[in-house]
Chain A
């Protein structure tokens, strides 16, 4: 009897050992990802350049991943609604989203956004930069940036410049503020309703200039000489602006807030998901149809992986907070 018991004991123990070994083998191998389509939240209405440039990018990435992306447009709340959806999603890698650095680094410092910082998100990749151009009319008296600054110094608040959103909410606003401090000029900030209105105001001679994203229509006007670019942020080599100084060249110590488009997901995405996504996105960034679409829409392809991009965003967020605090301080003192 004793021998049978010990035999049973040994057999059971060995079987369990094999079982555990087998399970450990299974666990050591990463789960398959992705096995179904991935939801991709774009926090703007469909039909805009954002969606249209993201589409070929995601198509290229899905070729690598083997599963398609399903684009879901969730506009609203000044792009924060879409961000909230991503924030609250399950971190299984099947819900990702699009964001721009502006509303990530700047918005939390200003409004009651659903998130105060980026800890709720995983930054996955950057893939687009919007080139920002400071544009004036072709027939305006300022031939160069320096001309403009000289005039602006002598005429405080006479320069009426359009920005894509309020001073504290757009990267251009924060950059311009730094320039104002450095050069001792004061301009009037105006916020039109979209680039179309800004273009109308500029062409119609109602404003001095604008500091907004470049788009194909504007570019056409520049090529024809009806508009002139005095300086720009983000070197955009394809457009032939070698003889125009970039903001980086003019003011090397000003923090250049980059207008970017990036991809994020909820926090705590598993490492194997991140690996596959980064692999797919880095390959997609060199996809031919994506690059072509980006060029058509005057967007600059610019890939950065999660680690690099995460560092950039963190730095930008701190810098934005610093400037916004200073701005608020000034407002309270009644200066502006």
Chain B
């Protein structure tokens, strides 16, 4: 196949010292940044961009992209170990990953996250290589109505994410949507819920929000636990460092599904790693034969999202490299790097700069292998972190969180945001309200509104636009069906209650 010839050519380009060094530097930094809460790939790539100006374009994007997908490997580490998401895309990994750690299964959780990331990352690059141009033109057909219906589907998945009561999950989702409204109205510039603060004009930051809601609240909850034995007991039961055969059997399909979902969602603008991880978790839970396992330490709940967020990185490169359109902020930085080097991605990119395209693809295969080799031995190290007495560990965690929150935007306001949501998250958890639906809704809410309004602007106010366009209509039907199927058990329970009475 032609692609494989090109790929071999790409490998020839990069199997040399310099490209490999850049690749390693990128993935190594990426892993570290992924582990550290707060500062993420966007910030790191922006900071390192000036250093890549003097380098040739291929090396520049190899390193910067390495930071991005490397980050998705490291992000699960703190989620699993201490229930603190390193990135917003690692939030869902907290749900089951941390529960696995509490049962002494941190090793297998970290292991399946690493392997899943590797498999998904490699599959993603494979897909990128083969189907990129075809998918790109499909992505163009997604206009505001199509996105709107997709987001409707996403919001109904909120219900699936709930571990406990659906009603409470919906309450949290609504609250999340309200929080998402804080900021400036994109169409008119009107300010909402700003209370005169310039800091809030861009809305509540996703990073501090997630870190506070999950990370700080976790620390507060643990400090509150008077019994020290509660923490240490769990840790002593560490059983094994790698996933067992049963783990693999359980995870292989979630990994595959996660890879596909992640890749497809990564292509769509606005999507990326965050949405992919949430969607794949919700899908796994929905189609699982034992949904009640989710939220208590189901390995599928780690395998799927961790795979999804990795293949999403490859998916994100589809529109960038084939159309020159970056689907998210990270890809926009990669675009910037290329433009600065006088390489403009677009339809002619692959034919005009084959050495860059194929060299880049080849580097991602190698990068994923490097990451697997980097991350697996680290598992033993990370698991030992759990043995550190909590009274020493939690101040360190707090310091990292605060530095991380500040590091996102050089803003002390972000630190305050994080603390506020830390307190909120603590209260929520005490009263058994969940954070995950709120985060998903917070993230999707603004997109929901924006696409809804843009759609209505396109249709001059007519709602029919959502149903006359084929993709959008399909999405709305699926949403409707999802809602109906979710409502049925609730109605049945009601009937039982009524009939008992």
Contacts and interface: CB of A to CB of B under 8 A. Distances in A.
Interface of A: 45-49, 51-52, 55, 72-78, 80-81, 84, 110-112, 114, 157, 160, 165-169, 188-194, 196-197, 199-201, 203-204, 206-207, 215-217, 219-221, 224, 226, 293, 296-297
Given A191-B186, A207-B458, A55 B50 contact: yes
A114 B327 CA distance: 33
A293 B457 CA distance: 37
Interface of B: 42-43, 45-47, 49-50, 139-144, 184-189, 191, 196, 198-202, 269-270, 319, 323-327, 332-333, 335-336, 339-340, 342, 344-348, 409-411, 413, 450, 454, 457-458, 460
Nearest to A84: B198
A188 B457 contact: yes
B336 A49 contact: yes
Contacts of B191: 111-112
B49 A46 contact: yes
A48 B336 CA distance: 6
Contact of B198 (A45, A47, A114, A165): A114
Contacts of B413: 76
Given A47-B333, A166-B189, A75 B409 contact: yes
29 contacts: A45-B42, A45-B46, A46-B47, A47-B336, A74-B409, A74-B411, A77-B200, A77-B201, A78-B184, A81-B198, A81-B201, A110-B189, A111-B184, A112-B191, A157-B460, A160-B458, A166-B188, A168-B189, A189-B457, A196-B325, A197-B269, A199-B323, A199-B324, A200-B142, A201-B143, A217-B335, A217-B344, A217-B345, A220-B344
A190 B454 contact: yes
B346 A220 contact: yes
A174 to B, nearest CB: 13
Contacts of A55: 50
Contacts of A81: 198-199, 201, 411
Nearest to A218: B324
Contacts of A160: 457-458
B5 to A, nearest CB: 26
B422 to A, nearest CB: 21
B340 A293 contact: yes
A169 B189 contact: yes
B198 A199 contact: no
B409 A45 contact: yes
A168 B137 CA distance: 34
B348 A296 contact: no
Contacts of B457: 160, 188-190
Contacts of B335: 217
A159 to B, nearest CB: 11
